[in-house]
A and B are shown apart, each in its own frame.
Chain A
Amino acid sequence: MAKKKTVRTIPQERTPMHEQDARARAKNFTEVACGYGLAEALRESERCLMCPDPACVEGCPVSIDIPGFIQKIIDRDHRGAYDVIARTNLLPAICGRVCPQESQCEGVCPVGQTLEPVAIGRLERFVGDMAIREGWANVPYTEPTGFKVGIVGSGPAGMACAADMAKAGCEVTVFEAFHQPGGVLRYGIPDFRLPNDVIDAEIENLRKLGVKFECNVLVGRLFTIDQMIDELGYHAVFVGTGAGYPQLLGIPGDSLNGVLSANELLTRCNLMRAREFPDFDTPMPMGRHVAVIGAGNTAMDALRVALRLGADKVTCVYRRTRAESPARAEEIHHAEEEGIEFQWLTAPVEILDDGKGNVRGMRCVRMELGEPDASGRRRPVAIAGSEFDLEADTVVFAIGTNANPIMGQTSKVKLNSRGYIATDENLATSMAGVYAGGDIVTGAATVIEAMGAGRKAARSMKAYLGLREDEAADLGAFESALFGIARGERNFTRIRAL
């Protein structure tokens, strides 16, 4: 038997991932991080200690059996690795790229106490990309239950919920207001972090499960959630519409031409392909000096998109320090490498007019950190007399989002005091059969948290419909077939309950 691995015996250095050169990539939209090859994945897999009680699984919002799939990579059973991940996560190629692993699985990896933690995200991506290349998809045979489930929003929460409901034998339709599915993965996250063909591949996998996508449908306006239940024959509905409504600066000059939300910049560039204007009709003119306010992941995306759209100088303006910034360390690092300038401890006071209604610059003030506030972060306080003018002809604000009002306007579903949908701990809303999860419940969060919410809601919906939790999902195809009998029985539990 092989000797038990310890922190001393494993490769000490985290296996680096090849990246596009910073100067070259600042001009293109090709993916920055190129992914592990076979040898790199093997070497990194060897760094996993195979903890008997793995903390990383606890740290994962969807509880992927991380040592399990890593062991399969070591065994060179890549299909097996994919099967392990696919049991709990349908979208490994996406999550491996965009999850904040440093605060989830990798953040609790014991190797990380002495060395760099195991690069779990990169390994997950390695498996996910291979699955796309090889065309793997786990499409279990499911007995149709006859239940119709409607999913509002095709972002990560909706996709995860749709997958689980389809696997449980429901007829699932996902409604998307835009003309292409994917939600924030499509309009928000730029191609150089998450290429469109990865999203396409993951959506294609959902289609193989029988999930239908209907685009250009704004639920609430074309038909309401109430109508879905009462008239359109949906037995259960999941609302995963995202938060969306951008928060505004509220400083003088914020409606000048050249001031826009990160959402607008990213949607124009990613979904509407403004970077290919005029081959595509949507324009996104970039000034020479772009200032982005905020330092979250959306701000990092906006900064790097602005640079790639041709701005000469791109500056991040944030009122706290790098340590408090909500963006992933990797994103800030990438942005810095590409030449983004950071003005920490700086807050905008006023956006300056060129006299014709366009942005000429931005008046800022220097800040210092005072006492901790409610969020535990030290509150930034303006330093008197430290005002200065920053040259800018485009100002992008990425300071968070509020709840989108459409669901509240058009249904009787209860909202909380901040306008988000109110749910119980099982993600049930005030309307029978209607569940909600993701940013429209919690406010802005991460892709994987939204997926976790989508899966949690799916569990509740299955319980509501009288479908037993799918214990067969973890078993092989042979056992699943045996459980087919029980599955048929399940169809009647709800009917009996009625």
Chain B
Amino acid sequence: MPEAQPQQLEIVAREDYSDVTFLLEVYHPLMARAARPGQFVIVMLHEHGERIPLTIADFDGERSTVTLVIQAVGKTTREMQQVCRPGTRLHALAGPMGVPSHLTGARKMLFVGGGLGVAPVYPQARAAKQAGAYVIGVIGFRTSELIFWEEKFRSCCDELVLCTDDGSAGVHGPVTAGIRAVLAGHPDVGEVVAIGPPVMMKACAEATRPHKVKTTVSLNPIMVDGTGMCGGCRVKVNGRVKFACVDGPDFDGHEVDFDDLMLRLKRYTAEERRATERWSETCRMQLPPAASQRISTPAALELPDPFDEVIGGG
């Protein structure tokens, strides 16, 4: 008997990569066909939920699905980690949004993923490989336990450098150490794409700036509508204001004002903490003991950046 067709917005697969990072594959035939590397979606988990932007990690026209890789750091993402199972449905999923990535078609390209940013940079690396480029990957994690998609990357990279901040796997150090090594060995790299936490993308842009190689970054500021209507996601690029949702999310990393971006990401920290505290109060009972302990510790409520798995820098 053939399997029943999944419903629109149904989660058809989930994978957990660590106690915070997980993957959801969502059934949405039209979006699976329309999505391009570099685009993002807006997700609402339930009727009372907020609209959160998530970069599309992958899409599969044949399976009619889009893939999201999520880190449980805020109220909504933690709730998603708890309730999203195969067979359940998201309340809303709008997209694909943003301008698709436009790779220059350089013969040799470097793709850098930091932490959660490893996911959205993957379809770009794959597209470059399919276009016939020589693809070099640099992926970085805080520690070996957080590594995911290493094999996926190997399959589309001619060379891959794995970095961990604590040296528990691969090169000991931030992704910028990997970038410097790659650029030293390959002065002919024509384009760099770096996705990860803002502090990491800023460091990557600084690492490539002396080499004058085009460096594209994908920005993930706070958004509401994702359609250019609220201006909450405005960023400064080359001294001019751009909306990440409709003018981006990809921008030239050498022109982005990262300090402005990082400051604006802190806008709702107090409210996020309040929502998380309230939520963990009410549902600690339902959580497995380990998880409940994690969420109730004050340290866990010091909310990290959504991408904050690698410190990057230096």
Query: What residues of chain A have their CB less than 8 Å away from a CB belonging to chain B?
Result: 177-179, 187, 215-218, 221-223, 242, 244-246, 248, 250, 254-255, 257-258, 260-261, 263-264, 267-268, 272-273, 277-283, 285, 357, 404-406, 409
Contacts and interface: CB of A to CB of B under 8 A. Distances in A.
Contact of B99 (A216, A277, A409): A409
25 contacts: A179-B51, A218-B95, A218-B226, A221-B95, A222-B34, A223-B34, A244-B229, A246-B231, A255-B234, A255-B236, A255-B264, A264-B230, A267-B224, A267-B225, A268-B224, A280-B50, A282-B50, A282-B51, A282-B224, A283-B272, A283-B275, A285-B268, A357-B266, A406-B228, A406-B246
Given A218-B95, A278-B278, A279-B48, A405 B224 contact: no
B44 A278 contact: no
A221 B231 contact: no
B48 A222 contact: no
A123 B31 CA distance: 46
A223 B31 CA distance: 9
Interface string B253-284: 00000001001101110111011001000000
A200 to B, nearest CB: 14
Give the interface SS of chain A, mostly helix, strand, loop or mixed: loop
Contacts of A285: 268, 270-271
B241 A248 contact: yes
B275 A179 contact: no
Contacts of A260: 230-232
A223 B224 contact: no
Contacts of B75: 281
Give the interface SS of chain B, mostly helix, strand, loop or mixed: mixed
Question: Interface centre among B92, B94, B274, by most A CB within 10 Å?
Answer: B94
For the complex of A and B, the 5 pairs showing the least CB-CB separation, nearest first, are A283-B271, A264-B230, A281-B50, A179-B92, A357-B263
A272 B224 contact: yes
A179 B50 CA distance: 11
Given A255-B264, A406-B246, A263 B229 contact: yes
Contacts of A406: 227-228, 246
Nearest to A281: B50
A264 B267 contact: no
B221 to A, nearest CB: 11
Contacts of A223: 30, 34
A246 B232 CA distance: 10
Contacts of B272: 283
A218 B97 contact: yes
Given A222-B34, A261-B231, A280-B50, 6 more contacts: A177-B226, A223-B34, A267-B229, A268-B224, A272-B50, A281-B49
A264 B231 contact: yes
B243 interface: yes
B92 A222 contact: no
B236 A215 contact: no
A255 B241 contact: yes
B76 interface: yes
Contacts of A255: 234, 236, 241, 260, 264
Contacts of B51: 179, 272, 282
Given A257-B264, A404-B229, A245 B243 contact: yes
Contacts of A245: 228-229, 231, 243, 246
B194 to A, nearest CB: 23
A267 B236 CA distance: 23
Contacts of A404: 227-229, 246
Contact of B93 (A216, A248, A283): A216
B44 to A, nearest CB: 6
A124 B247 CA distance: 42
A257 B263 contact: yes
A209 to B, nearest CB: 25
B234 A244 contact: no
B97 A221 contact: yes
B96 interface: yes
A178 B225 contact: yes
A179 B34 contact: no
Contacts of B34: 221-223
B7 to A, nearest CB: 14
Given A272-B51, A405-B246, A264 B232 contact: yes
B91 interface: yes
Contact of B224 (A216, A264, A357): A264
Contacts of B96: 221-222
Given A244-B228, A248-B234, A257 B267 contact: yes
Nearest to B235: A255
B266 A257 contact: yes
Contacts of B99: 409
Nearest to B246: A405
Nearest to B34: A222
Interface in B87-104: 91-99
B311 to A, nearest CB: 21
B231 A217 contact: no
Nearest to A178: B225
B288 to A, nearest CB: 23
A280 B50 CA distance: 7
Nearest to A409: B99
A280 B48 contact: yes
A390 B159 CA distance: 58
Contacts of B48: 273, 279-281
Nearest to A244: B229
B275 A405 contact: no
Nearest to B272: A283
A404 B34 CA distance: 20
A283 B271 CA distance: 6
Contacts of B275: 277-278, 281, 283
Contacts of B227: 177, 218, 244, 404, 406
Contacts of B91: 179
Interface in B68-118: 75-76, 91-99
A302 to B, nearest CB: 12
A316 to B, nearest CB: 20
A405 B228 contact: yes
Given A221-B34, A255-B241, A404-B246, A246 B230 contact: yes
Contacts of B270: 285
B272 to A, nearest CB: 7
Contacts of A272: 50-51, 224
A282 B30 CA distance: 28
B268 A283 contact: yes
B127 to A, nearest CB: 18
Interface string B29-57: 01100100001000010001111000000
A260 B230 CA distance: 8
Contacts of B49: 280-281
Question: Interface centre among B39, B75, B227, by most A CB within 10 Å?
Answer: B227
Nearest to B270: A285
Question: Interface centre among B50, B96, B241, B266, by most A CB within 10 Å?
Answer: B50
Contacts of A268: 224, 230
Contacts of B92: 179, 215-216
Contacts of B274: 278, 283
A263 B76 CA distance: 23
A374 B264 CA distance: 37
